[in-house]
Amino acid sequence: MTNAVVLIEAERDAFSSLGGTLADIDGVAEVYSVTGEWDFVAIVRVSDHEQLADVVTGHISGVPGVLRTQTMVAFAAYSRHDLEALFSVGE
């Protein structure tokens, strides 16, 4: 499984519809509108790097209103649930 965080800069006119459009792309698990330099963050979960490339360059980047993206591929995933289970040995 390949997980990635995709930062997305959008045209102002696209803000109202872009989140839903991005969330409908196969491989995109979640989309958040955010503050700061970037406008949206998409969490992508796919089976391999080739599929990631297709989702980002073939779909996300091609959505009208998307100006640019930056993709960060995850090496490992951690969650509060995983950490709590690690430290609750014997409970």
pLDDT digits (tens, 9 = 90+) for 33-50: 999 999 999 999 999 999
Q: What is the pLDDT of residue 76?
A: 86
Domain covering 2-87 in this structure, CATH number: 3.30.70.920
Q: What is the pLDDT of residue 67?
A: 98
55-64 CB contacts, 8 Å cutoff, 24+ apart? 55/25, 55/26, 55/27, 55/28, 56/4, 56/6, 59/25, 59/26, 59/27, 60/6, 60/8, 60/22, 60/25, 60/28, 63/18, 63/21, 63/22, 63/25, 64/14
Residues of the chain falling short of pLDDT 70 = 81-91
CA atoms within 13 A of residue 51's CA, in its CB half-sphere: 13
